[in-house]
Amino acid sequence: MPTRPQASLSIATTGGAYAGGDGYAVILACVGKNADGVPRVFTGSPRCSMQHDYSQGADLAAHLLAKTRSPIIFVPMPIVTAGALRMQRSTGTGTSIVTYSASTYGYLEEVDATLTVTTGGTVGAGSGPIFTLSLDGGRTTKTVRLGTASTYTIPHVGIVLNFGAGTMVAGDTLTFRFTAPKWDNAGLTAARTALAAQQKASRSWNVVGDLANSTEAGYVTTITNAYETTNKRFVYARTNVRDGGTPSMLAKSSGVKRWVKITAAETLTFAEVGATDDTITRSVGSFVDDGLAVGDVVTVAGTTLNNVTGRIKTLTATVLTFDATDLVAEVTAAGVGSIVASNGLIFAEVGGTGDTITRNAGSFVTEGFAAGDIVTITGTASNNVTTDALASVSATVLTLASTDLAAEEIGSHNVTITKVLSKAADVSLADIAFASVDAQKRIDLGYGRARVLSPITLWEFRRPASWHVAVREYQHALHVASWQNDLGPLDGVDLEDTNKQIVEYDERVDGGALAARFTCLTTSDNGPNGTYVAMALTRATDGDVLAYTHNMAVTNKFCSIVQAETTRMIGKTPVLNADGTATESELKLLEARINQALTEGLLSPGSEGQNASSATWVASRADDLRGTGKTLHGSGPLGLRGTITNVDTAVVVT
């Protein structure tokens, strides 16, 4: 049975496109608006944002468009895992409770935010409070005058701050972190199908969204490999693996303090019911509206007989019932007393090992904790821990490996649980997590991040190493290694904190990511100062020439040219010799056309030189082309340019 005639090729390498035809950088990113999976070409950032609103992908597009002045293809994928609040904590004496809601398209950005009240005031009254807001770990701040409003929508990132009734006092702070939304395997698969359905070839695919494990990396390699085998197109994907963050961003759990708003006319009635179920009844107001919940731990102060701490068993608007806390009958004078609450933590002594910490709300998982993490615990009465490993983690329970805890209930706002992680340990964890992504030449996994100013939001967000490498890559010819040092440091990319101390992963200082075959960033041994690409690597086998990403780019271009030109041979009717082989003159004509295209695409000197050392296509002289369904074979010797990786100088002193 006849099948559709086609040309095919495979790549063979030894040690020792058409970068996409038009050279498009392709961005695959999840969006909240118009996530229709249709690849679109954009030549300017505003048009992309108008079509799909803000997203991390739109921010990468803005970087590429501004710094390369070349069009990009943007493939919008649906959001499957929504962005979410990861951590929040507050300090101060203000009574306004801040909550969060998502704007139209959800929470859209990973932020490390701090709100600091500079001028106190009552929410919704008068000129209102004034505060500064930073979304980038304090690197930049913006002043917000709340006025009579009780909400503030942070531009672009999809976060709405809702300020409850009450006061905000100068010096009060609120720290919160959000995760970015994420795509899924179905979205990636649909993106590959959509790219294959249009005729714009691409140099590489930039997948926005950190990979959590080798399973997600497998989703990426599946679509790039299928693009070759099924669609006869040749790309590699560039993406980043999840890192542990800078020391200030390591997983941390610390509850939010909630104040019960006791008005000047309000009284509190304490009732001793028995061994359990003692109550506090308020004359006006609402415990529920003040943010209290069953399981919270409350601390009462300012009374004559009932300055206690205990856990809420049941709750109505006006009646708070304790679990086991013993009260004494008392009615306070109007406006006297204070009640502070936060999510409860229960420390349980189970045995020699396996003691637990249980919370009544929130999630240890979304705060970033995982089994095997090393943690410290401070702020408790009996259970401060210098370091211990977590044997297991669920949303509400941490199980410690070896520390012997004492029974204790305490409000989470008093306690801080912090993950302790060195960069070396984090690289080791990433190496283990992605070790199975091997012999995969069509994926480049980045590790680490660096700060860069967003062209859209004007915050200095932590952006993946893969983003910075992609920008450098598209500023130069295919054969130019993004880690060529004389290209200079990456523009505006920073591994340092505000005190000019290196806090992000630096291959020169920390080491280990290159050995684990991750693309990463570095500083230079002897200057110039700045951030450089340490190396850009695919996951090809060690020693494979295609382990260098720029070699993969040149090889893809060779493959694309040969694929296009050999496809044009289909249906030709060469003159044959008596044995059925094509005549030499016919074969030379076929070869000449392909080799001319290879010369123009790979061997002609551009502004940065030719892309390859040699590139030819040779037709088989042995194929019998008589009859039907015949195949003409060919070989394509590609000589890549050399890459100087090390320089060893012998100094002779006389």
Q: What is the pLDDT of residues 370-403, one digit of tens each?
A: 888 889 999 999 999 988 889 999 999 999 999 9
Which residues make Cβ contacts (< 8 Å) with residue 11, sequence separation at least 6? 441, 546, 555, 559
Q: State whether 560 and 624 are in the same domain.
A: yes
CB 363 within 8 A of CB 395: yes
Q: Where a domain ends, among 161, 178, 195?
A: 178
Most confident listed range (15-24, 93-102, 256-265, 567-576): 567-576
pLDDT tens figures, 176-193? 999 999 999 999 999 999
Total structural domains within the chain: 5
Residue 123 structural domain:
85-178
Q: State whether 456 and 407 are in the same domain.
A: no
Asked whether residue 311 is domain-assigned, the answer is yes
For residue 316 the two structure tokens come to 């109505």
pLDDT tens figures, 406-422? 999 998 888 989 888 88
Q: State whether 433 and 519 are in the same domain.
A: yes
Q: State whether 433 and 413 are in the same domain.
A: no
Q: State whether 393 and 438 are in the same domain.
A: no
The neighbour count for residue 582, using CB atoms within 10 Å, is 22
Whether the per-residue pLDDT at 15 is higher than 60: the answer is no
* Separation of CA 244 from chain center: 11
CB 490 within 8 A of CB 468: yes
Q: State whether 431 and 524 are in the same domain.
A: yes
Asked whether residue 37 is domain-assigned, the answer is no
Q: What is the pLDDT of residue 139?
A: 94
Q: What is the pLDDT of residue 16?
A: 37
Q: State whether 540 and 550 are in the same domain.
A: no
C-alpha count within 13 angstroms, C-beta hemisphere, residue 156: 19
Q: State whether 415 and 369 are in the same domain.
A: yes
Which residues make Cβ contacts (< 8 Å) with residue 526, sequence separation at least 6? none
Whether the per-residue pLDDT at 368 is higher than 90: the answer is no
**pLDDT-wise least confident of 248-252, 353-357, 478-482:** 248-252
Which residues make Cβ contacts (< 8 Å) with residue 469, sequence separation at least 6? 238, 444, 446, 482, 519, 533, 536
Sheet containing 236-240, strands listed edge to edge, beginning at the edge strand earlier in sequence:
40-42, 72-78, 24-31, 202-207, 236-240, 443-446
Whether the per-residue pLDDT at 575 is higher than 80: the answer is yes
**If you average pLDDT over residues 283-301, what whole number do you get?**
92
CA pair distance 152, 134, nearest whole angstrom: 14
Asked whether residue 550 is domain-assigned, the answer is yes
Asked whether residue 190 is domain-assigned, the answer is no
Q: What is the pLDDT of residue 249?
A: 63
Q: What are phi and psi of 195, to 5 degrees?
A: -65, -35
The percentage of residues in the chain with a pLDDT greater than 90, rounded to a whole number, is 81
Q: State whether 511 and 454 are in the same domain.
A: yes
**pLDDT-wise least confident of 29-33, 257-261, 592-596:** 257-261
pLDDT tens figures, 509-561? 999 999 999 999 999 988 789 999 999 999 999 999 999 999 999 999 999 99
CA pair distance 83, 107, nearest whole angstrom: 5
**If you average pLDDT over residues 631-651, what whole number do you get?**
96
Q: Where a domain ends, among 291, 319, 342?
A: 342
For residue 268 the two structure tokens come to 């509190």
DSSP symbols for 455-512: TTT--EEEEEHHHHHHHHHHTS-TTS-TT-GGG-SPTT-B-B-TTS-B-S--TTTT--
Q: State whether 436 and 381 are in the same domain.
A: no
CB 105 within 8 A of CB 32: yes
Tell me, what amino acid is at 412? S
Q: Where a domain ends, among 544, 574, 605?
A: 544
* Separation of CA 50 from chain center: 23
Asked whether residue 12 is domain-assigned, the answer is no
Asked whether residue 139 is domain-assigned, the answer is yes
Q: State whether 508 and 525 are in the same domain.
A: yes
Whether the per-residue pLDDT at 260 is higher than 70: the answer is yes
Q: What is the pLDDT of residue 6?
A: 61
Q: What is the pLDDT of residue 546?
A: 98
Asked whether residue 469 is domain-assigned, the answer is no
Radius of gyration of the chain (CA): 31
For residue 10 the two structure tokens come to 């495979």
Assign 1 a pLDDT band (cuts: 50, 70, 90).
very low
The helix/strand/coil state of 113 is strand
CB 423 within 8 A of CB 510: yes
| Closest to 162 (Cα-Cα) out of 195, 200, 115 | 115
Q: State whether 163 and 93 are in the same domain.
A: yes
Asked whether residue 290 is domain-assigned, the answer is yes
